[in-house]
Structure 1
């Protein structure tokens, strides 16, 4: 424990990271923000082993985020799970430590990237959207 007058820092929690992600989502320009109203946001330490296996990823630190769901404009089918953005806390923290880039910027980048995939955007489109969200 830190003594009186000292502070002790801790790694951001899942709730802290969710707050950063929700802030990033709120800064997205229209029309993107309007299409995210029903999208779930889930922060977990790592992706599940089945997801990593399906994606051919051996190191769980390689996946920082994932969008699952039907693309905008595609009709929903019975039994569809809700559209979801997953953020993976530990890989994001590792990237934060290794790069020195702010955690806010990293989370915004992953949010923009996952939203971009949902809308079928190119990498250049995603960079422009990310710049607008900063």
Structure 2
């Protein structure tokens, strides 16, 4: 923030800005996973849809920052009929809320962290695998 931009004039990044942050995070995925990761559809919404929150028994929509919707690679079979593309959902408002609460991490880093966590579901990564890609706690 510059000296000429008062806090009351700041505007939260919109869906397009979040999409750009997610695309940048996806571009940073290491080579062994990059091509497969780029085949996943990334959807950015303000909140998870109500039906999804109900299915997951989540009462507060701010509790869900991201979601992987698909069949993990470790469970796929060549005999499976695709029901649709594997999708990672990122929910803007809960991510913004967590970002504001933390106050110690950049928004791009938080979006990347949520994206990597959801990619872990797709790839079937262990905690050690995740740590090699996203050492969040460092």
TM-score bracket for the superposition, by shorter chain length: 0.7 to 0.9
- Of stretches 101-110 and 121-130 in structure 1, the one that deviates more from structure 2 is 121-130
TM-score by length of structure 2 reads 0.84
- Is 1:95 the counterpart of 2:69? The answer is no
List per-residue Cα deviations over 1:1-33 (Å, max 9, x = no partner).
xxxxx5432100011011001100100102111
Across the two proteins, how many residue pairs are aligned to each other?
A: 128
1:122 aligns with 2:123: no
Shift of 1:76: 6.6
TM-score for the superposition, normalised by structure 1: 0.86
Deviations, residues 30-71 of structure 1 (Å, cap 9, x unaligned):
211110232111100000111111112111101000111122
Unpaired stretches in structure 1, ≥5 consecutive residues: 1-5
CA contact (8 A) 1:35 1:72 kept: no
Match of 2:85 among 76, 82, 105: 82
Query: What is the Cα-based RMSD across aligned positions, in Å?
Result: 2.0
2-structure distance, mates of 1:76, 1:111: 28
Establish whether residue 58 from structure 1 lines up as the match of residue 62 from structure 2: no
Q: Contact (CA 8 Å) 2:18, 2:44: kept in 1 or not?
A: yes
Contact 2:26-2:38 at 8 Å conserved across structures: no
Which blocks of at least 5 consecutive residues in structure 2 are unaligned?
none
1:6-45, aligned counterparts within 5 Å? Answer: 6-7=4-5, 8-45=9-46
